[in-house]
Structure 1
Amino acid sequence: MMRVIGLLVSACLAAAAHASEDIADQYPASALYSKPVEVIPNVWSAIGATAPPTYENSGHNNNLSFIVTGDGVIVVNGGAAHILAEALHEEIRKVTNQPVKLVIDENGQGHAMLGNSYWAEQGVPILAHADAAHEIDERGNQILEAMKRYNGDKAEGTFVAPPTDTFEDKRVIEMGDFHVEVLHLGPAHGPGDTQVWLPEQGLVIAGDMAFHERMLPIFEDTIVSDWLDTWETGFEALNATYVIPGHGHPTNMAQVRRYTHGYLTYLRGKIGEHLENGGDLADAYYVDQSPYAHLDTFEELATKNAGRVYEQMEFE
């Protein structure tokens, strides 16, 4: 059975165009950046662009996934705008007549939660981690205004719809044929990072815990040492066979380990050497990150990442 699933994953990846920042939109018939693909049986994902959010990609630069359980559909991520959530719902209806019974936000960022506005109008419950709910409450309107600036008329109908339910460490959902564990393994990329784990299928919808096709961003509230600890003590322990990352195509643990844990460890090592040599912040921006220069968004993020790691390590 697992071999069959593996072949399905390989086939869906081979059929999909690369989610590149150089491709503005690979599914022009929809507001979605790409048409959803079935990653394993009954688990689907619409893979977003590995570029910053733009009008051309409608802000669909993360993965919008859904699970067809047999007794309803679970959606993972509200999306960056009302228009994206509605477009995803149209695609779900092409796959199944089962109603959407739950939306799970992977964090409190715009691309995870602004589309909650659509789902709230449908009366669908929305689940998020308590820290993500706090971020939505504190910054939701600011995030909405930023989305309106790049999305123009595509922002129509979008409003801040907070989650209707929150959890702290774990929420177990039994729906249809699926046992679903909604997890907060610890601090990582940002407040309230959430992973959706299907232990019987060996698949994790990792959210922004894991990156591989684009460079990960280190935000002001991203503590890299904490992210590494959470990875090593929580995420690795899942021993997932299949990974749907927050951005980029479905893959495996080896790939996300290389480009998430590996990159963070590498960058801390380079900044550590720089500090030992008496280097300052101005030069820290330009430590060698060439092994990762092939990743999408490298030009936008590499120097920022180095500066933030320097600021974190300076007084360790």
Structure 2
Amino acid sequence: MKKLLLTTALLSASSAFASEDIADKYPGSMLYDKPVEFIPGVFTATGATAPPTYENAGHNNNLSFIVTGEGVVVINGGAAYGLAKALHDEIKQITDQPVKLVFNENGQGHAVLGNSYWAEQGVPIVAHEDAAHEIEEYGGSILEGMKRYNRDQAEGTEIQLPTETFADEYIVEMGDFRIEARYLGPAHSPGDIVVWLPKQSLVIAGDMAFHERMLPIFAHTMTADWIETWETAFEPLAATYVIPGHGHPTNMDQVRRYTRDYLVYLRDQIGAHLEAGGDLAEAYYVDQSPYKSLDTFEELATKNAGRVYEQMEFE
């Protein structure tokens, strides 16, 4: 019966689409939406499936936490000092256990700019060494970009590097949970990690996996490497439950559809375009209609096609 209830909850969550049309689902907080307990002890505040804006306060990724019985582990620092504080306020309403550790899923602003709040609380912050390098190298410009859209909501935010880094894995035994932060290989951005809970068969996937919105392909996103990492290291986890970097918690079938399958599809489209002698200008408009229902399609589809063309032209 417990398994059935969890599966029903999972399916309900995966069908409750976030939307670019909803500016803020939780007006009483800087958070875009209130944290929800996905499976016992594991909570996530699902971000907007839209670009960062003043209305969503930059909360357009998932901010998760694990109530272990001996303390709380937070996954993602958040996009601003105030956003991290808002998440902490929600945690305090759920448990009196202290936050003992924060993981940054990568070096992007929505994962790390709230680090300054957590450091102020004396909480250790852990990230992959490549993510730490990104923060050190580009943190200033990331912060300035956030200030432009977040304005007064950026107050208190400063660049705070992780206090600990790792190369391959960082394992924590705390309360009822074994928590394995793993670097599986190149994916969406430098230093992408997943947080794997083997006892619960749940993975907090970070930007390894997307759901409900189109993934962005950056200049440094090597799509062939991402597919390889997915197939050789992420898929073999065989997770029952997945909290993606973006979009509601769901299962492996859904995130595969909108992440790995999308990357393979777009590369196939661009590959056929290259074989036909097509140029970059035409590549922007290869058919991506199977994914047009995804949020951020209009913002990202043509950019993604252009970047994949530039990659594959020299592969």
TM range (shorter): over 0.9
Shift of 1:19: 1.6
C-alpha offsets along residues 99-143 of structure 1, whole Å, 9 cap, x if unaligned?
A: 000000000000000000100100000000000000000000100
What's the CA shift string for 1:125-177, capped at 9, x where partnerless?
Answer: 00000000000000001000000000000000000010000011111110011
Amino acid at match of 2:236: A
Query: What is the one-letter code of the residue matched to 2:87?
Result: L
Shift of 1:315: 1.5
User: How many angstroms does 1:45 deviate by?
Assistant: 0.2
Tell me which amino acid in the other structure corresponds to 1:34.
Answer: D
Displacement of 1:212 in angstroms is: 1.9
What is the match of residue 133 of structure 1? Answer: 132
Partner of 1:186: 185
Contact 1:8 1:39 in 2 (8 A): yes
Preserved contact between residue 10 and residue 251 of structure 2 (Cα < 8 Å): no
> Following superposition of structure 1 onto structure 2, how do residues 126-205 of structure 1 map, counting pairs within 5 Å?
126-205=125-204
In the other structure, the counterpart of 2:101 is: 102
Task: Indicate conservation of the 8 Å contact 2:59/2:79, yes or no.
Answer: yes
Conserved? CA contact 1:127–1:164, under 8 Å: yes
User: Using the alignment, how far apart are the partners of 1:237 and 1:157 within structure 2?
Assistant: 41
Task: Identify if the C-alpha distance between structure 1 residues 297 and 11 changes in structure 2 by more than 3 Å, giving closer, same or farther.
Answer: closer
CA displacement, residues 5-54 of structure 1 (integer Å, 9 cap, x when unaligned): 2234345567xx63211100000011100000000001000000000000
Using the TM superposition, give the Cα deviation of residue 62 of structure 1 relative to its aligned residue in structure 2, in angstroms. Answer: 0.2
The equivalent of 2:40 in structure 1 is 41
Matches of 1:177 and 1:251 in 2, distance apart? 22
Equivalent residue runs for 1:1-316 within 5 Å: 1-10=2-11, 18-316=17-315
TM-score (structure 1 length as normaliser) = 0.98
> Residues of 1 paired with 2:292 and 2:12: CA distance?
28
2 CA distance for matches of 1:212 and 1:165?
A: 29
Give the secondary structure class of the aligned counterpart of 2:132.
helix
Structure 2: runs of 5+ lacking an equivalent: none
Distance (whole Å) between structure 1 residues aligned to residue 6 and residue 290 of structure 2: 32
Aligned partners of 1:62 and 1:111: how far apart in 2?
7
Q: In the TM superposition, what is the alpha-carbon distance from 1:2 to its structure 2 partner? A: 3.1
Contact 2:11 2:250 in 1 (8 A): no
SS of match in other structure, 1:265: helix
Structure 1 alignment gaps of length 5 or more = none
* SS of equivalent residue, structure 1 residue 208: strand
> Aligned equivalents of 1:96 and 1:148: distance in 2?
32
Cα 1:13–1:96 shift into 2, 3 Å: farther
**What is the CA–CA distance in structure 2 between the aligned matches of 1:277 and 1:147, rounded to whole Å?**
42
- Number of matched pairs: 314
Structure 2 residue matching 1:227: 3-state secondary structure: helix
For 2:196 and 2:92, the matched residues in 1 are separated by 24
Structure 1 vs Structure 2 CA RMSD: 1.0
Deviation of the 1:275 alpha carbon: 0.4
- Contact kept? 2:17, 2:212, Cα under 8 Å: no
> What amino acid is the match of 1:135?
E
Give the Å deviation of 1:3. Answer: 2.9
Return the letter of the residue paired with 1:60: H
Say if 1:211 and 1:248, in contact at 8 Å, map to a contact too. Answer: yes
| CA–CA distance in structure 2, aligned partners of residues 2 and 116 of structure 1 | 36
Whole-Å Cα distance in 2 between the matches of residues 151 and 54 of structure 1? Answer: 7
* Alignment TM-score, normalising by the size of structure 2: 0.98
Equivalent pair of 1:108/1:132 in contact (CA under 8 Å): yes
